[in-house]
Amino acid sequence: MPEEIQLSPKELARYSRHIAIPEFGKAAQLKLKKAKVLVVGAGGLGSPVLMYLAAAGVGHIGIIDFDLVDDSNLQRQVLYNVNDIGQSKAETAKKKLLALNPYIQVTVYKEALTTENALDLIRQYDVVADGTDNFPTRYLVNDACVIEGKVNVYASIFRFEGQVAVFNYLQEGGDRGPNYRDLFPQAPAPGMVPSCAEGGVLGVLPGIIGSMQANEVIKVITGVGEPLSGRLFLFDAAYFSTRVLKIKKNPETKITELVNYEDFCGVPQKDEQVKEISVIALKAMMDQQTDFQLIDVRESFEYDLVNLGGTLIPLAEVAAAIDQIEKDKPVIVHCRSGHRSATAIKTLQSIFPFKNLLNLEGGILAYAKEIDRNMLTY
């Protein structure tokens, strides 16, 4: 028979403030030690979630994140510092969590969560904490949790606002509570909700919301308190206002298999009408002093952070600035990642039959990765 999990004398001392709570005690602490939690994303939300789950004594923490630490992360991702820039977030997080609490186990997955690996990964854990920042992955996490019968502790952040909820919670009687699709049956249209990189986020907000998310994970595991099942907690840091909305199950919601979440969320695929140019080809044109026009369709604050020397025409202004676009030589349009610039090109082509517009594939991020590794990214 497997050896019964117990708390060592050192662990009893470490967790004494938990154990001293009458409603919590040693029994709840043992549940934490036996628990396995998968944290999807080790960024703004993942940082406080991971730190507090490790400190609380969750016995086995899984981290899935394929990203590297970037200088722009440090405004809010408090798990990292300047010495970690360029390093794997998942591996760096593991080292710091084990330094915080050597009595836990941490497993890292330096990869993206996909339809190919989601079910196998999530199946190995008791609870999933969703700290992702994009809709395709949120729906993927939700659907995989529903299929595998796992609780999904959800949180999201944007500018000054945050949300927290507990989805697919196992209720008394064996029924499951509402899931993410009961709240949001359909993803918002592409471009309706900017990413944090484009729209911004208050640095302390992930700490506030991530701590709440970690609290819900602990409640789910221990059975202490009442989890946010069937409720969505809303927080506005600018006005320090809160609301709690009720979520009802939709009997029409059926989740039996994973789907193509890029298609489901309407993520635009490459448009054949939008011709592309690589950053390598752009650099060659620059070096050869080829006659071309470079247009930057980001916002002015982004341009001030880092730019390639192009003419700044923010996306919202391109239609009105059509007279500034050259008609008789190559025009390369770029943004941070290539999405806004593709939209700009389609807008311009809908007004005038341009044949000379090229979208810079991958935008500033690709240029920094492939051409100038010292370039500031955000």
Task: Yes or no: say if 312 and 341 are a contact pair by the CB < 8 Å rule.
Answer: no
The two three-digit tokens of residue 373, written as one number: 């590794």
Q: Which member of 32, 118, 315, 335 is catalytic? A: 335
**Pick from 164, 171, 156: nearest CA to 201:** 156
265 a catalytic residue? no
| CA gap 365, 312 in Å, rounded | 17
Q: Which member of 37, 146, 196, 358 is catalytic? A: 196
Instruction: Sheet containing 231-236: give its strands across.
Output: 105-109, 60-64, 36-40, 127-130, 151-158, 161-167, 231-236, 241-246
**Is the torsion defined by CA of 251, 255, 260, 261 positive or negative?**
positive
Helix 205-222 with 46-56: angle, nearest 10 deg: 40
335 a catalytic residue? yes
| CA gap 341, 361 in Å, rounded | 9
The two three-digit tokens of residue 336, written as one number: 């941070």
Residue 188 has what DSSP assignment? P
Which residues are catalytic, by number?
196, 335
